[in-house]
Structure formats: C-alpha cells, structure tokens
Amino acid sequence: MPNRLPITIFLLSFTLLIACGDDTNPMMPDGGGDVDATVDATPDAEPMVDCSDRPSESIDTRGEHQGVYDAVRGRIVIYGGNTSAPEMCMPRYNLVGELWAFHLDCQNWEPIAQDGMNPGIRARQGMTVDTRRGRALLFGGRDRVGFGEYENFNDVWALDLETDTWTEITTSGDAPTPKSTPVVAYDETNDRLLVFGGNTSTGGLTLTGTSEFHALDLETGVWAPIDAAGAPSPRLWHSGTIAGGELYIFGGTPDYDGPFLNDTHAFDLSAGTWREVHSGRGTAPKLRFGGELYADAANGRLLLFGGHDAFDMGNSNDVWALDIMAGTWSNVRPGDTLNGRALGVCRFPADFTIPEADTPERRYGFAHVQDAEGAYIIGGKTDCGNTNDVWRLGFDTNEWESLRTTTEGEACNRSGRTTCTELCF
C-alpha cells in the first residue's frame, strides 16, 4: 500500500485513536470536514449587553459537532455532536441534537431551546452560512441506530439566525448520497450549497470515502452533480474553505487502509475546473485527517490547524499557512513536540509531549468557524477525551487567545498539576 507506515508508528497512531474514542473500530475516522462562512456585520448590529443579565450554562465536552459564526449577533452557534468520553480506551456514544450559542462579548454559553421541527440527533454534519439570507445551513451527518451501525443523512436544514428557528429545505433533483460530515460550503456568487466527499458507509467497521461533488441551487431547491476533470480522489474527514473564488480541499483519508492524505486542490467557482495546488510532497503539513482550513483573505493565505496525523504524535495542534498565490506551505506554529514513547496500549508517560505554550490541546473532530480577522476552534476530541474550550487565532499576529478553558479532556501536563503520573492523569 502506498505510504504505509512502519508498524511501530502505525500501532502508536492506532493507540492514540483508541484513546480518543472515535468509533466501534476507532483505528480510522469516518467523517468529513465542513466550511464555515459568516453573516456580514451591519451598522445596526445589536449593541453590547450586560453580561450579568445573560443566561449562562456550562456546556458538556464534546466532539464531532459543527457550527457557524453569526457576526450580526456576535456569537458562535454549534449543533449536535458526541458528548461521551471514552472509558478505558473504549469509545462511548451519546449523540445529541443540542443547539448552543457562545457569545463572544460575554464569553459565555447559552442553550437555545428548539421548539418545533429540527434536524434531531446527529453528529459529523456539515454547516455553513447562507450570507444572502442570514441563516445557517446544515447538511447530512449521522445518528447511531445500533451497535456499530449508523444512519446517514442527506437532508438540508436552515436555521434562521435572528429567530433561532429551523426549517427543512425541500429539495429535488440528483441529491448526494447520504453521508457523514462532508465538506460543505456556501457559494455566495452563484447562490448554491456545495457538498464534496465524505463517508457513505453506515457500518462502524467499514469506511467508504467518496469524491461526489454536488451543488444545491438555493433559489430552486434543485440538486445537481458537478462532474469536472481533475477532482480530488475519494476521501473523508478532509477539510475545506472558500477563498478568492475557489473551493479548497485538503487532506483526509479514503478508507480503513488509507493512506492518510496531505494534498491540496482548488475548484474554480466560475470556471468549474479543478487544479492541484500542492501535491503534499516537499514542505507540507503531515499526512492527516480531521484538521480544519481557514481563509485569511487579508494576508492571501489559508491556515490549517490540528487533525490526527499518521505519525507517532497522533493528534496535532500545529498551524500551517498556504500562500495562495505561490501555492506553497509554511509552518506558522510548531505545536507540541514528541518527548516520549508509549508505556503500553493506551498508556503514555506524563512527559509524552512538550506542550507549546499558549496553544490549544492537540485534537481533531472540533467545531471551527472564522471571522475576517481570526480563526476559532470549539471543543473536539483529544488524547484524553473531549474538550469544551474555545480559542481564537488572530490572523495578523498568529497568536492564540483562550476565550474559555476546558473542564475535561486536557493532558495532565497542560493542566498545571505537578503530580501527573501519565499523560492523562
């Protein structure tokens, strides 16, 4: 098999995946990424509020959720996910259909009641923002229906961000195969929802990456496939974003046998053509799935954070920049560095890593949104469980800011404790 890793490295990567509690067979992922967009801020945006008057609750740690940035109301809105952390390295499942808002002015969480129809329980869906209509769009995802079995979806829901009410969008035409967390994006110029790739398998022991590419005309509600030469290979748990009139796709993996990927492709939204931006050879992020891309338009680059790599570090918290004009990658922040070896299955020494200061914990399966000036990460799946923290990376400074600390899921050597005996306790 191409790019097959030495067995010792592969086994350690496998062990870290078990620790993260991914699936019935947690050796490999079976989801996808999504692309977030923003609702443009307007002069009549709501004023700052008295934070003492705002309802605030603690949100459960979670992974496999997604969200959008609502610039008009200054908040991040997330939906769904898996709130169960693994026990004794075995995955646990509590998929939810919860809707939450994180208010950036008060940096607090507020649960949003869902009266009436809504997408229901699901994880690994894709979400983006329809900037013309001021609403979030949700496509696909999955719910667990039995031991190791899932139901995939291909429905489309709209969340009115002013009223926080859901409406299912009636569609027709040649719809995408039901799938879990593909890359989705809103193409504002052509007023359409784009869906690329994802996992079409319903089994916990099988993965089926796809290179399906579809567009939903949001005026007519009609689906149509996009068949263009040079498309990326089939993949799941890849990442993507729109920048400069192109949809970018990075990384992922096709199935259980791999290989993990780190190539970058771009689809021209006007010309309808694909091009390979970077093959993944030479200077590039490590092979990985579950990272996320952000569009830093002011600096003419894309940023990549996190994911699960194919090497002995397992999860990642590095940051890479792709110069859009040059098509070249450079490392912006190194993230944690490896400092030890596994003690056994799912056992790691307390100094397994040397953490990079002022950087989020290594993770994948996190929600990601952005505004024009920075990238946000919310929760996700780490070596030690799930998190519920919120971080912001400034585009101009390349510096992280912690907006909300996590209550669980952080490695012991990041917690400030001095009595750590192993990585997670």
Which pLDDT tens digit goes with each residue over 73-83?
999 999 999 99
pLDDT of 143 reads 97
Q: If you ran DSSP here, which 8-state letter would residue 16 be given?
A: H
Tell me the pLDDT tens digit for each residue of 22-68.
454 433 444 445 665 454 434 344 555 788 888 789 999 999 999 99
pLDDT for position 2:
37
Assigned token pair, 370: 């952005």
What distance in Å separates the CA atoms of residue 238 and residue 47, rounded to the nearest whole number?
37
Helix (H) or strand (E) holding 11: helix 7-20
pLDDT score, position 48? 56
Encode burial over 399-424: b for 16+ CB neighbours within 10 A, e otherwise: ebeebbebeebbbbbbeeeeebebbb
Of 249, 253, 247, 262, nearest to 199 by C-alpha is: 253
Cβ pair 315, 364 in contact under 8 A: yes
Q: How far apart are CA 19 and CA 382, in angstroms?
A: 8
First-to-last C-alpha distance (Å) of the chain: 37
Distance from C-alpha of 91 to C-alpha of 28, rounded to nearest angstrom: 13
From residue 56, give the alpha-carbon distance in Å to each of 100, 109, 152, 297.
11, 5, 33, 33
The predicted pLDDT at position 55 comes to 79
What does the pLDDT read at residue 13?
Answer: 45
The H or E element that residue 301 is part of is strand 301-309
Q: Can you tell me the distance from the alpha carbon of 379 to that of 253, in angstroms, rounded to the nearest whole number? A: 22
Indicate yes or no: pTM above 0.85. yes
Chain position carrying tokens 């007023």: 191
What is residue 171's predicted lDDT score, i.e. its pLDDT?
98
User: Environment class of residue 137 by beta-carbon count within 10 Å: exposed (0-12), middle (13-18) or buried (19+)?
Assistant: buried
Whether omega for the bond prior to residue 6 falls within 30 degrees of 0, making it cis, is no
User: For residues 297-324, b (16+ Cβ closer than 10 Å) or e, as one string?
Assistant: eeeebbbbbbbbbbbbbbbbbbbbbbeb
Rounded Cα distance between 379 and 81, Å, is: 10
Report pLDDT for 8: 35
Element (H, E) at 8: helix 7-20
Residue 263 has φ and ψ, to the nearest 5°, of: -85, 160
Residues 7-34+163-414: name the CATH superfamily: Kelch-type beta propeller (2.120.10.80)
Q: In the chain, what are the domain boundaries?
A: 7-34+163-414
Range list of H helices, 293-336: none
Q: What is the per-residue pLDDT for 257?
A: 84
Q: Which residues of the chain have pLDDT under 70?
A: 1-48, 87-89
Are 264 and 282 in contact by the 8 Å Cβ rule? The answer is no
Number of alpha helices (DSSP H) and beta strands (DSSP E) in the chain: 1, 30
Please enumerate in sequence order all residues whose Cβ is within 8 A of that of 125, keeping only pairs 6 or more positions apart, or say none. Answer: 34, 66, 79, 80, 119, 138, 139, 140, 141, 142, 153, 180, 181
Q: Coil, helix or strand for 14?
A: helix
